[in-house]
Each structure stands twice: as C-alpha cells, then as structure tokens.
Amino acid sequence: MKPDDDDLIRPSIRGLTPYSPGKPISEVERELGLTDIIKLASNENPLGPSPAALRAMQEALEEVRLYPDNDSYELRQALSKRIGFPPEQVVVGRGSDEIIHMIGLAFLRPGEESIMPEPPFTLYEFTTQLMGGVQVRVPLRDFTYDLPAMAERFSDKTKLVFFANPNNPTGTMVRKDAVAKFMSELPPQAIMVFDEAYREYVDDPEYPDGLDYVREGANALVLRTFSKVYALAGLRIGYGVGPPHLMKWLQNVREPFNVSSVAQAGALASLDDEDQVKRAAEANREGKKYLYAEFERMGLRYVPTQANFIFVDVGKDSRTVFSQLLRRGVIVRTGDIFGFPTFVRVTIGTPEQNERFIRALEEVLRAL
C-alpha cells in the first residue's frame, strides 16, 4: 500500500512555499517573444562585475576539474585583512542565504522563536519553519523596522532576531542610537543577525556597523554578500562574521566544498578592485536622484531608500502594472507579495534603463 504523505515528510516543512524569484529575462523572452528586455526586479548591479573579477574567473575555469578549497582560505584571509577580524571569525557561504540556513541549523531548536519583520525576507521564515522554530513577526512602522515593538516581543524562547539594515523591500534603515538601545535589551540567549546585504549603498552617516557588536563579543552575527555591489549574484557567494563562541558552531554545520572555486576567485579579485564599490555606489546615487525627481514629477509616493532599489506606490494594482510593464520589456517586482498591493519595487539601473522604465511606467499608468 502506498504510504500517506504524513508518513513521508517532516512535519516542519508543511506550510513552506518555494521561493519565487524575480522573473528572469529568458522566461519573458519565451513567454512574450521579446528580445529587448531590461530586468529591474532583483536588485542586481547593472554595471556588472569588476573586469579583474571576470579575468580571475576565466582563469579559475581551467581548474574546475578539481574540488574547490574547502576552507576558502585565500578569500577568508583577504576578508580578515579588510574587516579586521581573524579568519577563524569569518565563514563563507553560497550567498548569505546559505549562512542564514547555517544559523538555523546551528542554533535554533524546535519551539524556539525567531523575531523578524512583517513582511520578512523569505529565508528568515523558511529557515525558522524548517528547523521547527516559531516565527514572531512584527509589522514595519513607516516602512521601517519597529525595534521598540520587536523588543516588546522578547521572551525566554527568543533565540534569533533577524535584522536587515537596510531593509528589503522598503530600502529603509535604522540608525545607530536605536540599534544600540535594542542591543542593550537583547536577551542573553538570543542572537542578533545583522543582514547587511546593501550596506555599501548607504549614504546616511548614522548607519550602524554590525561589526561593532561583534568586536564587543555580543551574540551578534553579521552577514554580507558579493551579490549586490560586487555584481556577483550568479556566483552565489557571501560571508558571515561573528564572535568565536558562535563561529565555531557555524563552521561545524557548513557543508564541505560549499563555495565553488570560480566564485572564490571572483570574490577575491573583486576585493582587490578598490574602485568597484565607488563606481557602483556613485552610479546608484545618480540613479536614485533621477528616479526621485521623476516620481515627484509624476505625483507618485515613494519610500526614500538607502539601498539600490526604490519602493514606489504606483496607485494601481501592482500585478496589472507589472504585466503591462512586462509587455514593454521591463521587469520589476510586485509589491503585493510583501503586503503592499499598489507598490512596485524597482532596482536602480543604468541611466538608460532608468529612463526606459520611467517612459514605460508613464505609458502604463496613462492607459490604466
């Protein structure tokens, strides 16, 4: 007799929903027969990787018959020098996503709580659910993490606090003083997870550096990525930093050979290109100014951003706007999946991409 599903699957995966990424260009080409498409849906860097990274990856291809360096030794050494922590306090993963999963594996017991925003980044809820933890979701306030409300939800079951700063999808950030107060109230058994995927785009001087809390020996883990400002999203590589008493357990659950040799080479060369971050950050600032001005001219409300995307209220059903933009070869992200049905999230692109997006958006809104 064929077994029932209840006998085959782990109870904790019930309710999990597969991640739905931004629509890829190839899919739009197949569905609509278009060839001139721009993707402004997944917060990718429109400038592309450092030329030095491209050369390093090409050279690394000659050795792909061999397993990669299991410890990402050279990259961890370079990161150690860059951020001022011993290599033992750095872990490299397949994007910061894998490190979020590692944090769940290492620290979250069934029944323990993860505090996260509402709406949360998918991996926060996914990891908590997978490990049998309890999600404690706290709504945003003015599109920003409401740290006082999150602190009110602390309990003796609190284990993880997920804190994306700047936040995705809204692009907002919490300043130093508010974070310091929150950290002073963190329960002793809880771990603060600083998700700093977009930190290189921040231009507010009051941005708090999560590494300061690691230096103090707090229960704090800092996640960073090469996917955004370094434009290596397709390689899937990121890193985490934390105090020794936490990092040894993350290393215990890390899968062997988890990061490819090509990814390691690309990330290492990217760090050596001193102008990479400056180029991307400057282009982002200019694009942000242009889009702000255009949204204001069009009378559209937007959320001021510290990241490389803007959350904008188009005043219409986001699914309808999305589909109409798609027919014009422009891919954005709908806001309904985040609980904001009239918003879209648009990645800041090149000047040409930004202008094309605005032209298409104006056409769509006039027609609706």
Q: Indicate whether 152 and 225 sit together in one domain.
A: yes
- Asked if 247 and 283 sit in the same domain, the reply is no
Number of Cβ within 10 Å of residue 140's Cβ equals 18
Q: How many residues does the chain have?
A: 368
Asked whether residue 308 falls in the same domain as residue 221, the answer is: no
Q: What is the extent of the structural domain holding 207?
A: 51-272
CATH number of the domain encompassing residue 200: 3.40.640.10
Residue 25 is predicted with a pLDDT of 80
Q: Are residues 236 and 252 in the same domain?
A: yes
Return the closest-CA partner of residue 183 out of 205, 215, 142, 144: 215
Q: Where are the alpha helices (DSSP H) in 176-260?
A: 176-184, 211-215, 244-253
Residues 357 and 338 in one domain: yes
Tell whether 221 and 362 lie within a shared domain: no
Domains: count for the chain:
2
| Together in a domain, 106 and 244 | yes
Q: Where are the beta strands (DSSP E) in 74-151?
A: 90-93, 113-118, 134-139
Q: Answer with the one of 221, 241, 272 that is the final residue of a domain.
A: 272
Same domain, 205 and 176: yes
Pair (41, 57) in one structural domain: no
Q: Are residues 83 and 218 in the same domain?
A: yes
Written as tens digits, the pLDDT of the chain (368 aa) is: 566 666 777 777 777 777 667 777 888 778 878 888 999 999 999 999 999 999 999 999 999 999 999 999 999 999 999 999 999 999 999 999 999 999 999 999 999 999 999 999 999 999 999 999 999 999 999 999 999 999 999 999 999 999 999 999 999 999 999 999 999 999 999 999 999 999 999 999 999 999 999 999 999 999 999 999 999 999 999 999 999 999 999 999 999 999 999 999 999 999 999 899 999 999 999 999 999 999 999 999 999 999 999 999 999 999 999 999 999 999 999 999 999 999 999 999 999 999 999 999 999 999 99
Give the pLDDT of residue 2: 60
Do 288 and 326 belong to one domain?
Answer: yes
Quick count: other Cβ atoms within 10 Å of Cβ 367? 7
Same domain, 86 and 172: yes
